[in-house]
Each structure stands twice: as structure tokens, then as C-alpha cells.
């Protein structure tokens, strides 16, 4: 369907980026790339930085459709989605429930556990929780992270109990509850999801100990192996990622992050409903492996914003 649509059918497209979350800088980079790609395809697209600017543009009648690439915060927690639903404006990415649920890593894991999908053992750390007791229940090594952040913001790996206070203090800078989970030692993988299909797996091989913010967005020596697996193992991980994405209520496009331990078992970590679209980002790499170049990927994502194209120009 999307290959035959004239660009004008999408109407005036607002590329929503920036905002005020800890992922603002990455979102600005993603937004610039998406905006340029849409314009190269002839789409009438304009950039909008943050929710207040979006509200003003909606009130002025300047928006027919939104390509949401505002990472974290209001861009992924259901706020933007609810605003656009109430305004009757089509948009990319998950709906309200899928966005709000998947931004919260704890609630996402609760859903996965309920439906029998594999995810590392975890402890929810509400304010005032006994951190030492939670760590004792899980055992070392473990991970401490904010439940509501992405891009590896505020994440620490803990191998010794003496490292716990610093890990908790770092995660607490970002507010909300904290997630403590068992550290799965093995290969780091990710699977992009596009329009109901799982893209090839990517195995991430950072030069350092693990795939942190620096390895994701700064380092040039991180290796990305795509596909990351072969044969049955590849098919199984892609199927698991798609099942996890669907179980969490996510739709349209996104990315599922996993670990694969030494025994070959896969473990679900989280869902990202508005993945990065930078030069280092993973969904574009996976799409390219099946012949979908960046501009075409952006076009296909935009096409997931609504099959009826309600409110678009004829």
C-alpha cells in the first residue's frame, strides 16, 4: 500500500522530536534525520520540538499527521498518544496503552511473566524499599536501572554489594521507581519490529564491557552483526520478540531488546516504541539487511500511522 501512495496523501506531517526527557539530544538527531528523509520523498513535513509546540500547532490547524520520534518522557508514556487520539490526528508508533506500558519496564515485565514469556528475575524498588534485601533475594550480579528511562540512562551493573549504593543513587536521579534485575551474562541482541513483522536480529558487540550510552551513540568501534543468529535460533528469537511486542500492546513499529545466555536461552529485557533513527541506531541497520534503505524505512513507518489516512489531503 505505502509504495503507491502519493506524498500529498499524508497531508502536513509534523515530525515531533526533542522534548525535555533525558533522551532529548538523541531525539533531536533522530528527528533531523527523519525530517530530511520525508522531505526527500516529497512529504510536506515540518519539525516540532516538544509537546507545547505540538499543542500550538494542533490548535492552529497546521498538523494532519504526526511522525513521533520524541524519545522517552511524554513522547513514549502515552501523553502524546492521548493528545493525538483526542485531537483525531493519526500518528506513528504504539497507541496509548502500548506506549504507556512499555515505557515502564516493571509493568512490561509483569505482563510478560503473566503470559509465560522469559524475562530475567527482578525486584521492584519503590521509594523507601530495602535495597540490600532485594539484592539478597536476587543474588549478584545484577542490574539497577530507572524503570522509566531508555538509552541506557542511569543503568549500572553490580557485581559486589559495595557497589549498590552508587548504583541506586545514579538511577534515582531520574525519578520514578527503580528496577533491579538479575544480570544475564551472554550476547546482547535486538529485534526491530515493522508493521507486524520482526526484522533480522542484531547481535551487539561493544568494545567495552557492555552496551552503554557511549557505545550506543558515541563509539565507532561497536560491532553490529546482522543477522545475529542463524537458522532455527534466528527464527525463534524473532518470533519471541514479536510475541513480546504484541503482548505488551505495542503496535506499528519498535524494537525489542534481549539477552542470550551461554545455554542458548533468550531473555526479554524491554520494548522501545520510539527507537532511535540516528547513524548508530539499530532498526535502520536491521531494515537495511533486508533491502530497506533509510528513506524507505521512514516512509513505511509513516504509513503505519493509519491505513484510513483520516484527515489527509486527497
Q: Domain containing 168 — which CATH number?
A: 3.30.1490.20
Residue 266 backbone phi and psi in degrees, to 5: -100, 145
Q: Domain containing 33 — which CATH number?
A: 3.40.50.20
43 and 106 inside one domain:
no
Q: What is the pLDDT of residue 190?
A: 97
78 and 220 inside one domain:
no
Q: How many domains does the chain have?
A: 3
Q: Residue 4 above 80 pLDDT?
A: no
111 and 146 inside one domain:
no
- Give the residue carrying C-alpha cell 539484592: 135
pLDDT in tens, 89-108: 999 999 999 999 999 999 99
151 and 71 inside one domain:
no
Determine contact, residues 211/226, Cβ cutoff 8 Å.
Answer: no
Give 213's pLDDT tier (boundaries 50, 70, 90). low
73 and 209 inside one domain:
no
178: in domain: yes
206 and 173 inside one domain:
no
303: in domain: no
88 and 144 inside one domain:
no
Q: What is the pLDDT of residue 312?
A: 36
Angle between helices 282-289 and 294-303 (to 10 degrees): 100
179 or 206, higher pLDDT: 179
Determine contact, residues 274/254, Cβ cutoff 8 Å.
Answer: yes
Strands (E), 195-245: 197-205, 223-225
One-letter-per-residue 3-state SS of 141-167: CEEEEECCCCCCCCCEEECCHHHHHHH
Range of the domain at 261: 102-116+185-289
134 and 239 inside one domain:
no
**Catalytic machinery residues:** 23, 151, 217, 255, 257, 270, 272, 276
194 and 108 inside one domain:
yes
Give the percent of the chain with pLDDT over 90.
81
284 and 259 inside one domain:
yes
pLDDT in tens, 216-263: 555 567 899 999 999 999 999 999 999 999 999 999 999 999 999 999
Q: Domain containing 106 — which CATH number?
A: 3.30.470.20
Amino acid at each position: 500500500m505505502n509504495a503507491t501512495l502519493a506524498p500529498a496523501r499524508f497531508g502536513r506531517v509534523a515530525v515531533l522530536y526533542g522534548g525535555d526527557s533525558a533522551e532529548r539530544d538523541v531525539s533531536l538527531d533522530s528527528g533531523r534525520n527523519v525530517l530530511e528523509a520525508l522531505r526527500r520523498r516529497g512529504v510536506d513535513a515540518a519539525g516540532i520540538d516538544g509537546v507545547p509546540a505540538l499543542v500550538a500547532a494542533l490548535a492552529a490547524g497546521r498538523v494532519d499527521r504526526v511522525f513521533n520520534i520524541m524519545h522517552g518522557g511524554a513522547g513514549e508514556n502515552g501523553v502524546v498518544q492521548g493528545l493525538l487520539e483526542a485531537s483525531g490526528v493519526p500518528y506513528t508508533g504504539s497507541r496509548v496503552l502500548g506506549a504507556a506500558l512499555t515505557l515502564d519496564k516493571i509493568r512490561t515485565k509483569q505482563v510478560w511473566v503473566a503470559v509465560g514469556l522469559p524475562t530475567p528475575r527482578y525486584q521492584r524498588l519503590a521509594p523507601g524499599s530495602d535495597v540490600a534485601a532485594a539484592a539478597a533475594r536476587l543474588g549478584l550480579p545484577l542490574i539497577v536501572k530507572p524503570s522509566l528511562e531508555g538509552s541506557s540512562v542511569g543503568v549500572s551493573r553490580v557485581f559486589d554489594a559495595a557497589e549498590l549504593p552508587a548504583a541506586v543513587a545514579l538511577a534515582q536521579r531520574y525519578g520514578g521507581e527503580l528496577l533491579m534485575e538479575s544480570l544475564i551474562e551472554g550476547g546482547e541482541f535486538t529485534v526491530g519490529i515493522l508493521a507486524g513483522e520482526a526484522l533480522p536480529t542484531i547481535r551487539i558487540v561493544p568494545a567495552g564491557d557492555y552496551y552503554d550510552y557511549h557505545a550506543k551513540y558515541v563509539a565507532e568501534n561497536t560491532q553490529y552483526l546482522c543477522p545475529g543468529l542463524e537458522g532455527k535460533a534466528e527464527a525463534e528469537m524473532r518470533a519471541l520478540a514479536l510475541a513480546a511486542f504484541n503482548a505488551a500492546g505495542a503496535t506499528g513499529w519498535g524494537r525489542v531488546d534481549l539477552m542470550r545466555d551461554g545455554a542458548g536461552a533468550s531473555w526479554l529485557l524491554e520494548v522501545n516504541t520510539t527507537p532511535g533513527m540516528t547513524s548508530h541506531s539499530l532498526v535502520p541497520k536491521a531494515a537495511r539487511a533486508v533491502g530497506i534503505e533509510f528513506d524507505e524505512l521512514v516512509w513505511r513507518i509513516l504509513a503505519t500511522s493509519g491505513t484510513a489516512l483520516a484527515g489527509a489531503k486527497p
